[in-house]
Each structure stands twice: as structure tokens, then as C-alpha cells.
Structure 1
Amino acid sequence: MVNFVLVAGAWLGAWAWDDVVPELRAGGHGVRPVTLSGLAEKSGVPAGQQTHVQDIVDAIERHDLRDVVLVGHSYSGIPVGQAAERIGDRLRRVVFVDSNVPVDGESFVSSWPDGRATVEASIAATGGFWAPLTAADCTGQGLGDEQAGRLVAGATPHPGATLTEPAVLGRALGELPATYVKCLLDGEEPGPDVAELLRGEHWRLVELDTGHWPMFSRPRELAQVLLDAAGT
């Protein structure tokens, strides 16, 4: 048995994994979806990026989880990557699902050369939050109307400080055992930071023919990718 700790990306909470959790539990594994501070049922809780890192570490240590497969989607790859090195030998593998990865001293918006101004303008105009996604953002991402509607309806404003504060890494990310899941409808190639990490001996690439939110569009296929990454 392994313990899957699932962290969804910007605007989303633990609820985003509802269609994936049963598939993982059917194999007899522990599954713990995490809602980060300031999101979903934790809306209103102040949060910076290091708050989110600690949210993840606390969820693992509080429940004394071992053999952890730590999964980060989209934005949450940044706090997940930092948390993965902080939990030491509790980690079995980290899985980045179409996600950003942390770079020491750089923030989420650091890697957005064209979109940074848009994100920062949204944060300024929305009282310190990144405005939640809309139906237009879901176009071309392999989502049916019901799936897109559920995604948009559940999204909450995302704490802006988590996007602009820098990551803090104690060692090279490439030393972690990792799988990177590239969702092809959201771009056929990983970004340059990820491409460099995939050249190392500890990282492997898996491709999914779906969009950026595979927990909604292809939950069974995503669950199988996670099970394979765990070596079960």
C-alpha cells in the first residue's frame, strides 16, 4: 500500500480529485486530497507560497504517512516540489501533472514572460487574488459541458501572494524520483525547465491525450498513471 497525497492547482481544492480518489482506493491505497489555505473550504485563510508548502508537509506528518506519492497539478507543482524534499524518506515519488515546477528564488509568475502582467493585473484588481477561471478557459481542453461546468462552478479566487513569492529549494529538484505528466491538449512539449529535468536519471515523462485538467476529463486514465508511477 502507498499513500497518495493529491494537491490540485490554482483555484481548486481537494474536491477536484473526487473522480480520481475511488480509482486509487479500489487498489487498497491510502488517498488524501489536500485543500491549500485560502481555497475552497479554506477560503479566507491568509496564504503565501510557503503557507502552501507547509499545508502539504503538515498533512503528511500529522497523519504519519509513509510511502508517499505526492501529486501536484498545475500551480501546485511549485509547493509540492518544495514539500517533496522536506518530507525526506517519507517520499516514494513525486508526480507533477501538467504543472509548474519550483526553481529556487523564482515565483510562479517568473516563468510567465507573456502572461505575468495579466496575472499581476488580475491580482491587483481582485483585492489580492487571482480571479478564478471562466468557461472560456476550458475551451479546447477535452472537457464536456458537465465537466467544465463543475470545474468553473467550484473554482474560488486564488491567493495572489502564492503566485509572486519565490520558491525555496535546499537541493536540486532533479535528485527527486519524479514523473512528469504532460497533457497534450495544453501543449505538446514540457517547458524548458521540465525538459532539462527529464534529461536526468530520476525523472520520467508520461503523456496524456487530454487537456490541462485530467482529473475532470480523464480521471480513470490519470489514476492509472498515478498507480504506475507508484510502481503498484
Structure 2
Amino acid sequence: MEAASSPEPTTFVLLHGGRHGGWCWKRVAALLRQGGHEVHTPTLTGLGDRAHLLNRSIGLDTHIQDLVATFTYEDLRNVVLVGHSYGGMVVSGAMEVIADRVKTVVLLDAHLPRSGESVFDLNGEQRAAAMVALADEHGDSWYIPPADASRYGVTDPADVAWANSRMTAQPLKTYQDRIGATDRMWSHPGMFIECVPSSLEPHLLDRARERSANDPRFHYRVLQTSHNAMVTDPDAVVGLLFEARDLAGTGIREIPSASV
């Protein structure tokens, strides 16, 4: 990996997805910091290095508060905010509070909910039922056990071993909870990055991909790598983060608006 050089020092907040933690951004964060940028990689309550706090009461709102607190206590402003996978839910909810501190939002193969939707709503009934069954069988009926990195398209044995040693469980409640208002997320400039070919079950992120591809407020990009792009192609991710930063304020794309 080479250091990410850019003439404008920028603050990045990189938010992980489900059953991950701030650790998954290690390669991307290193590249950004080598280029002189400020980087924050918060870990959501009960996950990653905060797995010792795992309990059944943790819900989506807990994680939204985690992200808001990072902005508040670090006094962050003019931020490029990145959410991966489940992290898109958290980012969308937090934007109701922190939008004035965010320059642009980047959704890296992430959920893009509208008000009142849950991860289960977006994933569909079949996947929701499968996750509930998984929690019933392996998670005392209230948490989802750690995933295997190969499920996310990571193929290098060393990378799989590295990720699997850090994956943690996650409360089922975070997937069941419906998000509150998301108006400020939908009115904010942003970029959606689709990772292809997808290694996830069919349709898990189709709703987000369709919404962002058809909404002129989102700049849509496709990255030829795994769902866990921050692990498998950090250089390309960094390049798109800079592009997203520089696109902020350029206005909407000239395509017809469509609601999905």
C-alpha cells in the first residue's frame, strides 16, 4: 500500500458494519494518516474491542448514539463520514443530529433506509427469519454469532484468519429496530459505492443499490472487489473517499429522480 497523498487535510470518520469493529479499517486508516489526514474509526457498543459490553438491551439507537458521541466529544466538523454495510443504518440515523458537521457521506455497500425501516425490512422476510433462527440456535435467542470473513468475499487465507479472529457477535435487536427520521441523510450530498461481484446472499443490499443509483443526490460508483473492500482493496477505497470529498457541493447528478 502507498500513502494516500492529497493537498487538503481532511477529517474522516470510518464506521464499520455488522459484527465488525473499528479494526476493519486498519489498512484504509493507515493510508489516510500517512497522507496527513485525521481519521477516526469508532467501534459500536458490544462489538469489536467493545465486545465485553455485549448485552441484549443494545439496539440501533445505542449505536446511533455511539456515532453522535464520537462527533461531540472529538468536536468533529467538515467530516467525510463513511458507513459500511450495517453502518449505513447508524449513519442514516445519526445524520439527524450531526448533518451540519458532515461534508459528505459515503455508503460503502451499505444499507440506505428510509424512516421507519429496519435491517430486517430491507433484507426481506426470508433473511430475517434465517437470522432469527441463527440467534435461536447459536445466540441464546438474542444475539447473532460472529460471521466468517469468507462470507463477505475475503479469499486470502491470511486476511480471512485476521478478520475471523476479530469478528464478534451482535444483538439481534440492532437488526430488528426500526430507524427514526432519516430526512437529513436523504437531503445531504453523498456517494454510494457498490462492491461487485457481491458475495452476499441475493437481494440483501439491492434496495440500497437501487435507491442510490436512481437518486440524483447520490454519486454512484462501482468497485470491483469484495463486500469487505476496506480489507481487500484499501487503495481503491481511499481513492473513492477523496473523490467523494471533492464532489461535495457539486450538486445533483443530471438523471431523473426516482423513488424505490
TM-score by length of structure 1 reads 0.92
Which stretch of structure 1 is more off in the superposition, 71-80 or 125-134? 125-134
8 Å contact 1:93–1:176 — kept in the other structure?
Answer: yes
Shift of 1:134: 2.2
Instruction: Check whether the contact 2:95–2:182 (CA below 8 A) recurs between aligned residues.
Output: no
Partners of 1:135 and 1:192 lie apart in 2 by 23
Q: Does 1:20 align with 2:1?
A: no
- Structure 1 residue 11 corresponds to structure 2 residue 11: no
Contact 2:99 2:185 in 1 (8 A): no
1:212 alignment partner in structure 2 = 227
Q: 2:131 aligns with which of 100, 107, 119?
A: 119
User: Which string of whole-angstrom CA distances, capped at 9 and with x for unpartnered residues, describes residues 176-202 of structure 1?
Assistant: 111101001217996234423433332
Residues 87-98 of structure 1 aligned to structure 2 (within 5 Å): 87-98=98-109
Query: What residue number does 1:131 align with?
Result: 145
Secondary structure, counterpart of 1:6 in structure 2: strand
Confirm or deny: 8 A CA contact 1:73 1:99 kept in the other structure.
yes
Match in the other structure for 1:230: 245
Structure 2's unaligned 5+ residue stretches are 1-8, 248-260
- Report the CA distance between 1:2 and its aligned residue: 2.0
AA at the equivalent of 1:196: R
The partner residue of 1:177 within 160, 180, 189 is 189
- The one-letter amino acid paired with 1:41 is D
| 8 Å Cα contact 1:142-1:185 kept in structure 2 | no
Counterpart residue type for residue 133 of structure 1: A
Q: Which digits, 9 at most, give the CA deviation of each residue in 1:89-119, with x for residues without a partner?
A: 1110111111112221111111222211111
Which amino acid letter does the alignment assign opposite residue 146 of structure 1?
A
Q: How far apart are 1:157 and its partner, in Å? A: 0.6
Q: 1:224 to 1:193 in 2, by over 3 A?
A: closer
Distance 2:241 2:208 in 1: 22
Q: CA deviation at 1:173?
A: 3.7
* Residues in 2 aligned to 1:229 and 1:70: alpha-carbon distance in whole angstroms: 10
Q: Render the CA deviation track for 1:149-197: whole Å, top value 9, x for unaligned.
A: 1111210111211111001115264311111010012179962344234
Name the CA distance, whole Å, in 1 between partners of 2:188 and 2:69.
Answer: 20
